[in-house]
Amino acid sequence: MSDPLRVDYHVHSTFSDDAVSSPSENIAAAHSIGLRELRLVDHVRQSTTWVPDFVAAVAAERVPDGLMIVTGVEAKILDSTGRLDIPSDLIIGVRGVDAVLIADHQFPGTDGPWSPREVRERIQRGLAASDAIDLLVGALIAAMESVSAGQLAHCFSILPKVGLNEDDLTAQHLDAWASAAARTGTLIEVNEKWACPGPRALVAARQAGATIVASTDSHIASDIGRYERVATVLEAMT
């Protein structure tokens, strides 16, 4: 990785209902601190209709010299088959967004998304932690294979919410996950907000040849490119 902290590959704007800064403000903030790459990203669901407006708005922005802008939409995994909560008419590539950010906002269950509470209850009733991890890793791999350009958003952030952690991932899980990311060209972001994935997963990703990028998951322009936890994770990896 060259200059890993001079990029921010996950930044939200007012196209997301929980963010406060416009695309213009985000671009200005990134330029002001010397970032060289910025991915503008907003949350979508199957019912979302504004993606063409988002793409057009970003395309109309004046981009300062030395800064590259790419786009994306962030969508949760819906179930263990890797199905994503994206509009059916989503365009990836020319005249569309540059990538889909695959997010573990909820747990990908066999019959749909499970809330963290539901997963904890299932584990209490006998769902083995290893079987839960199998579902998650299998869904992540299937999701990566389902899109032409992907990025894993705050990957494994769901684990602490359900009473598990990255130590529950076996070497085989990480090898399959990292190999899929490398094979599909899926970027793996190290997320400032959630400080994940951790060093062990990132070492597996690096060994598999996957691309690792930094992100703040910013919802306000003043947070863009401001790294503390990501720097610590990357240092631990190396």
* Domain extents in the chain: 4-237
pLDDT at 1 exceeding the cut of 50: no
pLDDT at 10 exceeding the cut of 90: yes
pLDDT category at 238 given cuts 50, 70, 90 is confident
Separation between Cα atoms, residue 101 and residue 122, nearest integer Å: 27
CATH (residue range 4-237) = 3.20.20.140
Percentage of the chain lying above the pLDDT 90 cut: 97
CB distance 24 to 63 below 8 Å: no
pLDDT category at 52 given cuts 50, 70, 90 is very high
**Mean pLDDT, rounded, of the chain:** 97
For the full predicted model, state whether its pTM sits above 0.85: yes
Averaged pLDDT for residues 128-148: 98
pLDDT single digits (tens) 205-227: 999 999 999 999 999 999 999 99
pLDDT at 2 exceeding the cut of 70: no
Averaged pLDDT for residues 108-134: 98
